[in-house]
């Protein structure tokens, strides 16, 4: 039985859950209910979500939410944006979303859902059941508001974590599911290569200007031997057009993008980069610069 004045003590079971435990764990380990609740009141322990607690010195991360949901409902599977955070996807959210087998009432940020999960939809990491990366992506792309889902699609698409066929296949085999209309829209965007609103806008400018001979989200490995996927590629002219955005090309991609650009230039490419402001405030200039680059490339390859 722990000393009443040992403020560092936590139940031994917390070691199985990244420091997360419940009042019931503390009582089972030797404290009285009054002693356990007193430690919460004195902020020696602090709530995480559901029934989960941690020592006040523990620095919070998404895994604590996941373990707290698990000790609250051992049959829960972490899902939606909460699973996305565990998979390292760029999403946010205050609530902790879980899939449970029977109807329950939300408890201290833990939000239950009654989704149907198939065996391949669930993985176990760090002792926590959560939806697989593919199922998490499918759920979030259909469930999130359109703008947030579009931002996620841009991030996912540039990393080739999901393709249009996979998304369409899930929609076709799960008719009537919430979010299927949005999933179909997202699959169409993936198929067209417009992974973000900015890329969609760029494609519209090119189509509207009658500029042809390009491919969206094209791999240059076969053409140039450069392991790069670019937003727009004009193979005949060796012109690359890239759209810069913090979602698709966030901080983790900054060095990668610069290194890749040097490789493209070294391979004889003209590389043009545009921002959202360029596309929305200066579309005529964008089109003119692309035309100029294509004309310059044509002149350079014309026989003397």
Query: Per residue in 24-60, pLDDT tens?
Result: 999 999 999 999 999 999 999 999 999 999 999 999 8
Is-contact 53 17, C-beta < 8 A? no
For 101, 178, 179, 228, 265, the CA distances from 175, given in Å and listed in that order, are: 21, 9, 10, 36, 47
State both tokens at 171.
């929609």
What is the structure's pLDDT at 245? Answer: 58
Q: What letters, b where the CB count within 10 A reaches 16 and e where it falls short, cover 210-249?
A: eeeebebbbebeeebebebbbbbbbeebbbbbbbebebbb
What is the structure's pLDDT at 227? Answer: 78
What is the pLDDT confidence band of residue 249, given thresholds at 50, 70 and 90? Answer: very low
Query: ∠ CA(160), CA(164), CA(165), 5° rounding?
Result: 115
What is the structure's pLDDT at 250? Answer: 47
What is the structure's pLDDT at 220? Answer: 86
Phi, psi of 113 (to 5 degrees): -135, 155
Residue 161: count of CB within 10 angstroms of its CB: 14
pLDDT winner (highest mean) among 83-87, 184-188, 240-244, 300-304: 83-87
Is pTM beyond 0.75? Reply is: no
Percent of the chain with pLDDT over 70: 93
pLDDT at 92 over 90: no
137-174 residue pLDDT tens = 999 999 999 888 988 888 888 788 999 999 999 999 99
pLDDT at 301 over 80: no
What is the structure's pLDDT at 228? Answer: 80
Residue count of the chain: 304
pLDDT at 299 over 80: yes
What is the structure's pLDDT at 75? Answer: 95
Q: Which helix (H) or strand (E) element contains residue 230?
A: strand 229-234
Average pLDDT over residues 55-68: 94
Q: Which domains occur in the chain, in start order? A: 1-74+86-114 (no CATH), 75-85+115-192 (no CATH), 197-301 (3.40.960.10)
Mean pLDDT score of the chain, rounded to an integer? Answer: 88
Average pLDDT over residues 248-269: 70
pLDDT at 253 over 50: yes
What is the pLDDT confidence band of residue 248, given thresholds at 50, 70 and 90? Answer: very low
């Amino acid at each position: 039985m722990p000393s009443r004045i040992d403020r560092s003590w936590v139940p031994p079971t917390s070691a199985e859950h990244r420091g997360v435990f419940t009042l019931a764990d503390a009582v089972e380990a030797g404290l009285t209910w009054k002693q356990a609740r007193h430690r919460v009141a004195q902020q020696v322990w602090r709530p995480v979500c559901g029934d989960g607690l941690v020592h006040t010195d523990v620095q919070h991360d998404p895994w604590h939410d996941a373990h707290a949901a698990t000790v609250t409902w051992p049959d829960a599977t972490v899902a939606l944006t909460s699973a996305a955070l565990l998979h390292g996807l760029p999403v946010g959210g205050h609530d902790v979303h879980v899939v449970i087998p029977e109807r329950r009432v939300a408890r201290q940020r833990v939000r239950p859902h009654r989704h149907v999960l198939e065996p391949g939809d669930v993985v176990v990491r760090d002792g926590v059941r959560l939806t697989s990366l593919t199922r998490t992506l499918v759920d979030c792309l259909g469930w999130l508001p359109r703008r947030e889902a579009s931002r996620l699609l841009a991030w996912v698409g540039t990393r080739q974590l999901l393709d249009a066929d996979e998304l369409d296949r899930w929609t076709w085999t799960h008719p009537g599911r919430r979010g299927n209309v949005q999933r179909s829209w997202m699959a169409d965007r993936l198929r067209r290569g417009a992974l973000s609103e900015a890329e969609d806008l760029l494609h519209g400018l090119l189509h509207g200007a009658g500029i042809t001979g390009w491919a969206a989200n094209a791999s240059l490995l076969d053409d140039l031997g450069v392991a790069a996927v670019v937003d727009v590629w004009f193979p005949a002219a060796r012109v690359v057009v890239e759209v810069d955005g913090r979602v698709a090309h966030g901080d983790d991609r900054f060095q990668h993008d610069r290194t890749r650009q040097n490789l493209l230039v070294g391979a004889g490419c003209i590389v043009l980069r545009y921002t959202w402001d360029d596309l929305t405030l200066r579309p005529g200039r964008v089109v003119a610069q692309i035309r100029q680059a294509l004309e310059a490339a044509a002149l350079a390859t014309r026989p003397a």
